[in-house]
Structure 1
Amino acid sequence: MSSLKYLSAYAPELQNQVKQMIEQQRLADFLLKKYPDTHDISNDKYLRAYVMALKNRYLKKSVPLSKIAYDSKIHVINNALGLHSYVSRIQGAKLKSKNEIRISAIFKKAPEAFLNMIVVHELAHLKEKEHNKAFYQLCQYMLPEYHQLEFEMRLYLTHLERNGALYS
């Protein structure tokens, strides 16, 4: 059986449990039982409204976002589920900056909990650029079950890679 690349940072015991679920063909059942439905945030307009509602709730005074979009060019293989980019430009005598959030298009057809976790992750980068203790504390402030959702989202990605779409 090939390695579990999305779970490589987790304890070997946990990886073995996941391997057993895969061997016994129980991974899809586990995911569908816990997450029976997908969200209906299907385009960039709805995604922007969703992201801005979270931003306004938890990070009201943070920098503005100039673009929020699904991006089909983000490849999960490169460990990117979403991207937060910060671009600085000089216009005349002024330094202008833009903050953008792009979410991998594979999450158009996913449980809302996973989309929420990715959005929280990208929003946390508005305040904390690095994946440090403060970053993860901010993620947990916005989403207390952040770490559990990240793990289960990695299970979802494992299923997608091995078996294709979970939801039709």
Structure 2
Amino acid sequence: MSDDNEGNLPKPTSEVGSVLVQTQNENVDSDGWRAMFVQQNANMCALIKALQAPKANNHVDLSEFDPDKTDTDPESWCATADLCFAENPLHGVQLVLAVSKALKGTASTWLSQIAYQGMSWSEFKVLFTTRFISTETLAATLFTLGTDKPSEKETLVACASRLMTSLTNRW
């Protein structure tokens, strides 16, 4: 019986191996390469999808607000921050971190006293407005602007610009 089976197999052509063994090895090698290329293609597709997917950006850079400086306008700062948070709303810890980077001086101290977990921008805005935006009458605003004088290092153009900005922000 063993002689019959040996008769059906091709005779080896060299010491390295037979034609049948070489053909089987080539099929195994080609299947391995095919599997590797299929996996590489799937990995590349996943990478492209990950790169094209929109990323959630919870980072907001606000301009600096220091109420201790004379040229600081809390209404303008609040309006600018309102625009930033309309595009990318934050709340809780992320809001406090973003605002704490912008607030300087006494405003920074004030923030540490009023911040609480889960705070929203609208809640912060009410607190900020109450603390930093004056509620003086229009007549008082005009009187204040009328008695305002340029500082030593401020040019007349810069002073006029500051006064105009204050007027337009007030109305």
Q: TM-score range by the shorter chain?
A: under 0.3
Query: Which has the larger share of helix?
Result: 2
Could you tell me the TM-score, scaled by structure 1's length?
Answer: 0.23
Could you tell me the TM-score, scaled by structure 2's length?
Answer: 0.22
Query: Which has the larger share of strand?
Result: 1
* Structure exhibiting the larger radius of gyration computed from Cα positions: 2
